[in-house]
Structure 1
Amino acid sequence: MSKKNNLARRKRQHEFELQKEKEAKEKKTQKLQAKKTKMKIDRNDKKKKKGAGGFQVGKRKLKTKLTALTKAKAAQAMELDK
């Protein structure tokens, strides 16, 4: 009998291949799960950032990031205009 036709060798090789396929499948599901959780985290961050992008001054919404001092000055300027 040749080495290729050895029943024990073929059986071990088959089990090894099944094990490799199982590990590959598990790794793929873990990557997919990690990607899903990352997408959930990103989605929640976008929701939070959407409202925090600007602030209301009069009838217009400014979309720039301003410090508290600059916001106070803008509010004071709007009061003077009224």
Structure 2
Amino acid sequence: MVRFENVPLLLGLVLVITLAGAPPTKAAGPVCRDAEKFSRASFPEGFLWGTATAAFQVEGAVDEGCRGPSMWDTFTKKYP
């Protein structure tokens, strides 16, 4: 019978070797879009505006996607 005790170790080793050999990459342009170029004219005629979000999508993602800490992030850090 074949034993698979070392499979996670071998997979981890393959991952490390693969990542170590990969060259670092840089974004082709700015990560955050320039807000000055954004306007209603960017959308087609008859575009209907709407908004929605969920706390799961945004809370806890400080410094991700050009977002800073919110009031809720500060509160949960102070009172875990």
Which category of TM-score, normalised to the shorter sequence, fits these structures? under 0.3
With normalisation by structure 1, the TM-score equals 0.26
Q: Which has the higher contact order (CA 8 A, sep 6+)?
A: 2
Q: Which structure has the highest strand share of the two?
A: 1
Q: Which structure has the highest helix share of the two?
A: 1
Select the structure of larger CA radius of gyration: 1
